[in-house]
Copies of this chain bind each other. A is one copy, B any other.
């Protein structure tokens, strides 16, 4: 029996963590030996440092890379979409027409784009755990934990002037201090036409073979000049070949691979179905709004794109979780880990070991051995389920103006508190970025705002009921539509100067404001604070503390051969360029421009399979055999959009923009049989820049940067 168990353990624990090309690895914990064995190559420290410094985080959600020594950054068109939308108006639509700065002076400042580059990391696990008094109530431990995180960040910021974030990895198994160089003067250099970038529209999204030029170029400036970026990725005009080892560096947003079975069941049965239901509602409203005219369609475009994109991604993820085999494997993995933890005296009561590098230190026992970490997380899930409608149907996430109002009301209150007890988003170290976003000159469209706010309010009314205190406070006796009309028509928050005036005027200015949105947000503030405190004390504390214990049990049993769930921080994945089987046939590892023109002709040019104007006009100039898109086995997820694909020489060979449909289950588990990352090929980008877009300046910069 012990034998059988050990074997099972070996299969399950290592099986979960060593599957072929699996893993979104932190750069300090790459499986170098496995890489060496599998591919005969392991990156050097210098290679890794260059890649780290060339990797760029787009703070509105995405990744990118420096590809010249002069601050030139490439990312996806769909990562740039938010900025393109904000830079466009009724007269000039850069989304539809693309953008081409043919001279340096034409490079166009973005309204509110912040880029980050990770310049150093430091393990602060010991320091965070040391302040937690394990005899205290969990809510207290949680406050201690967060206060210490805030102190670490503040000290670092004061000392270095760099953006400093304490990042929680392995669900609290590890704490790392990440320091970022921050860029806020970002200018747009080039963006493809949306029809070229998003060819095939929602139909082809997450599909391969694919034919997208999902690309945009920005340049980072400081002091009015392009920054020097000596750590950049040299452009490979040849690009990646079939079977070649490639790396993807970037900022995957969120995975749930280390969550407990109970948490996954909750996600499967409640979280995802509710989110999808909400998306269907929003999609309906946005489509109706879009249908009302060309300008409304333009205004709603990026919201609708984001919504459709998420809907397809989450639908795929839900299907993955509904796969009984996947859940059985998750259960077997968890059972094995629990059995191993129970069988090893040093891990009983369950899972309180610290990971390798930090000194091994038992946490004093807070709970009887009967209540394992898994049991306590299950109990936490029950609590969450009981109050779940409150957690998700009190949002105002769809109206930018309502979000501004809430942020301002909280902001002026939070900054009066000591730094380490504030909400993290209002800590000193976060305020610069917050100001940048809040005072953005990006346009806000009242008609769209009103529809979206009405939708939020209607959803609260529907789901929580008319008698719910939040609903009573939010509607004030009006209909959702009436309330939204009143709030949006009367507010002055569309003007960034008014937002700045309120923030800079502090609590007094906000208390004195008669702006209907501010008045409304003030009224809702106590309800928000009550709910957030409850969530932090009852849910977050258990998740972080017990999740950390499970993570440390895993380290103790299986070694540090696992990687943390994605947290929108820098990760490196490895894999190879490879097609796959589909049905009875094979999907090739790449597409060519021939494929684009085939698909357009095959649908007789019907949208969304029509060519962009420039693709159509310049067809005769293009070398049609040039690779366009390609697929790799790299382990990626949303947030990796815009990530560079890098060969072993550290060259730029591709631009990640998607995963294929089978990869959508990747939120919960990885497989390299058919899951693929989809990228634009570096040769295809060059061909398009030179032949379709005639951006000779840019081609020269990319080619010259060697």
Contact = CB atoms under 8 A, between A and B. Distances in A.
A597 B594 contact: yes
**Oligomeric state, in number of copies?**
2
A602 interface: yes
Contact of A624 (B591, B599, B624): B624
A581 B204 CA distance: 11
A200 interface: yes
A641 interface: no
Contacts of A599: 588, 595
Contacts of A592: 597-598, 601-602
A279 to B, nearest CB: 15
A594 B598 contact: yes
Contacts of A206: 584
- In this complex, the member of A209, A584, A661 whose beta carbon has the largest number of chain B beta carbons within 10 angstroms is A584
Nearest to A204: B585
A91 interface: no
Contact of A588 (B312, B597, B602): B602
Interface string A577-606: 001000111101111101101110111100
A583 B209 contact: no
A603 B579 contact: yes
Contacts of A586: 203, 603, 609
A242 B584 contact: no
A204 B584 CA distance: 7
Contacts of A597: 592, 594, 624-625
A265 B642 CA distance: 53
B584 A207 contact: yes
A75 interface: no
Contacts of A603: 579, 586, 588-589
A164 interface: no
A331 to B, nearest CB: 28
A205 interface: yes
Interface string A195-221: 000001001111101000000000000
Contacts of A312: 584
Interface string A609-637: 10000000000000011010000000000
A606 to B, nearest CB: 8
A601 B594 CA distance: 9
Contacts of A595: 594-595, 598-599, 602
A625 B599 CA distance: 10
Contacts of A625: 597, 601
Contacts of A598: 591-592, 594-595, 598
A584 B209 contact: no
A661 B590 CA distance: 23
Contacts of A624: 594, 597, 624
Given A601-B592, A602-B595, A661 B584 contact: yes
B242 A604 contact: yes
A661 B583 contact: yes
Contacts of A590: 602
Nearest to A599: B588
A586 B201 CA distance: 11
A661 B661 CA distance: 20
Nearest to A606: B242
A585 B242 contact: no
B584 A609 contact: no
Nearest to A662: B583
Contacts of A200: 585
Nearest to A625: B601
A662 to B, nearest CB: 10
Contacts of A589: 602-603
A584 B314 CA distance: 13
A203 B602 CA distance: 22
A320 to B, nearest CB: 15
- In this complex, the member of A203, A589, A594, A627 whose beta carbon has the largest number of chain B beta carbons within 10 angstroms is A594
Interface string A499-520: 0000000000000000000000
A519 to B, nearest CB: 45
Interface in A83-123: none
Contacts of A588: 599, 602-603, 609
Contacts of A584: 203, 205-207, 312, 661
Nearest to A591: B602
Interface in A543-558: none
A481 B242 CA distance: 44
Contacts of A205: 584
A200 B595 CA distance: 16
Nearest to A241: B604
A613 to B, nearest CB: 17
A597 B596 CA distance: 11
A609 B586 CA distance: 10
A278 B207 CA distance: 37
A579 B602 CA distance: 10
A564 to B, nearest CB: 30
B203 A585 contact: yes
A676 to B, nearest CB: 14
Interface in A640-693: 661
- In this complex, the member of A205, A602, A604, A627 whose beta carbon has the largest number of chain B beta carbons within 10 angstroms is A602
Contacts of A207: 583-585
Contacts of A661: 583-584
A597 B203 CA distance: 23
**8 nearest interchain CB pairs?**
A588-B602, A594-B598, A595-B598, A203-B585, A594-B594, A592-B601, A594-B597, A588-B603
13 contacts: A203-B586, A209-B602, A312-B584, A579-B603, A586-B609, A589-B603, A592-B597, A592-B598, A592-B602, A594-B594, A595-B598, A597-B625, A624-B624
Given A584-B661, A595-B599, 17 more contacts: A200-B585, A204-B585, A209-B602, A579-B603, A583-B661, A588-B599, A588-B602, A591-B598, A591-B602, A592-B597, A592-B602, A594-B598, A594-B601, A595-B602, A597-B624, A598-B598, A601-B627
